[in-house]
Amino acid sequence: MLKLLKIAKSSYFYEIKTYERIDKDKEIKNEILEVFNINQKRYGCPRITLELQNRGYKINHKKVQRLMKVMGLKAKQPRAKYKSYKGELSPICNNELLEVVDNKVIRNFSTSRCNEKWTTDVSEFHIPAGKLYLSPILDMHNREIVSYSISRNPSFNQTIDMLNKAFEQYDNLEGLIFHSDQGWQYQMNQYKIVLLEKGIIQSMSRKGNCLDNFLMENFFGIMKNEMFYGHEYEFESLDQLEQEMIKYIEYYNKNRITVKLKGLSPINYRQQSLNQLICA
């Protein structure tokens, strides 16, 4: 038979051994696939590695990366955004996140606790049925979405609604730095007065410098990349899109682990931070 097929004897036995060989990575591959699918293909190598470590596996990112490549698994990647800048409508606030270190101006996003620095912005979600605008507040300490408002128009009422939802959760926000870009909403006198009454320090990005509000931009990129881009035509109505946005933010806060948070979700990291403060 080997002569008929013109196959060398050594090649035949090599192939037989290959078929009989047990895949020693089968278990970990199944775990990788499960984490990847549970999170709807949103996790890349770093977070899959952290989740596996949370499950008790001793594995590094290099092996996860290699196995994901073999399995053909690849997380989704980002695109563009709605801009609310309409010129200088009132005096622009200082950027309270900027610091001078060794004669260099740097952005300081670091925090020691929750409710120390917040950031906000507005992003547009456009589908054939129309547009929705998301206005969230993100805590820079644990990347949690503190509150948010979804509207069919980017109105000032939306911004106030977002603030009221946040203020309902926390009575004392004295000294909190609240950062935004130079969007028209954040230049309104009413907005400034609301923050002033709460003892909140307003901070604004420099004109045309999106990196000054990197953490908020990063959240929008993550959210759209993971639940919106590539699915625009799957949403039959704005109501359906809104429900998916609400569902995603709940998932992001409660379940989505983050490398910067040492493999914890925003809410779990908040709880850990509170426990450490109590123990201290």
pLDDT by residue (tens digit) across 222-235? 999 999 998 988 99
The closest alpha carbon to 119, from 185, 193, 203, belongs to: 203
In percent, how much of the chain has pLDDT > 90?
Answer: 49
Output phi, psi for 236, to 5 deg.
-85, -20
Instruction: For residues 67 and 156, state if they share a domain.
Output: no
pLDDT at 243 over 90: yes
Instruction: For residues 129 and 56, state if they share a domain.
Output: no
Domain residues for the domain of 8 are 2-71
* Confidence bin at 106 (pLDDT 50/70/90): confident
Residue 216 has a pLDDT of 94
Output phi, psi for 135, to 5 deg.
-120, 100
The closest alpha carbon to 188, from 92, 90, 84, 120, belongs to: 90
Instruction: For residues 105 and 49, state if they share a domain.
Output: no
Beta-ladder partners of 12: none
In percent, how much of the chain has pLDDT > 70?
Answer: 82
Instruction: For residues 107 and 67, state if they share a domain.
Output: no
Asked if residue 238 belongs to a domain, the reply is yes
Asked if residue 198 belongs to a domain, the reply is yes
Asked if residue 82 belongs to a domain, the reply is no
Is pLDDT larger for residue 41 or for residue 166? 166
Instruction: For residues 25 and 113, state if they share a domain.
Output: no
Q: Give the chain's domain count.
A: 2
The model's pLDDT over 41-88, given as tens digits with 9 standing for 90+, comes to 778 888 888 888 888 888 888 888 888 888 888 776 555 555 555 556
* Confidence bin at 101 (pLDDT 50/70/90): low
Instruction: For residues 105 and 39, state if they share a domain.
Output: no
pLDDT at 260 over 70: yes
The model's pLDDT over 53-66, given as tens digits with 9 standing for 90+, comes to 888 888 888 888 88
Asked if residue 154 belongs to a domain, the reply is yes
Q: Torsion over CA of 214, 88, 135 and 166, rounded to 10 degrees?
A: 90
Instruction: For residues 185 and 275, state if they share a domain.
Output: yes
Across the chain, what does the average pLDDT equal? 85
Q: Which two tokens stand for residue 75?
A: 């997380």
* Confidence bin at 219 (pLDDT 50/70/90): very high
* Confidence bin at 132 (pLDDT 50/70/90): very high
Residue 84 has a pLDDT of 55
pLDDT at 103 over 70: no
Contact between residue 141 and residue 273 where contact means Cβ atoms under 8 Å apart: yes
Is pLDDT larger for residue 13 or for residue 180? 180
Residue 30 has a pLDDT of 85
Mean pLDDT, rounded, for 233-245: 95
Asked if residue 78 belongs to a domain, the reply is no
Note if the pTM is more than 0.75: no
Where residue 134 sits, what CATH number does that domain have?
Answer: 3.30.420.10
Contact between residue 194 and residue 163 where contact means Cβ atoms under 8 Å apart: yes
Q: What is the DSSP string of 157-176?
A: HHHHHHHHHHHHH-S--TT-
Is pLDDT larger for residue 82 or for residue 156? 156
DSSP structure class, residue 261: G
**Which residues, in sequence order, are CB contacts of 240 under 8 Å at separation 6+?**
none
Quickly count: other Cβ atoms within 10 Å of residue 254's Cβ. 12
Quickly count: other Cβ atoms within 10 Å of residue 59's Cβ. 16
Instruction: For residues 122 and 51, state if they share a domain.
Output: no
Residue labelled with tokens 């007065």 = 193
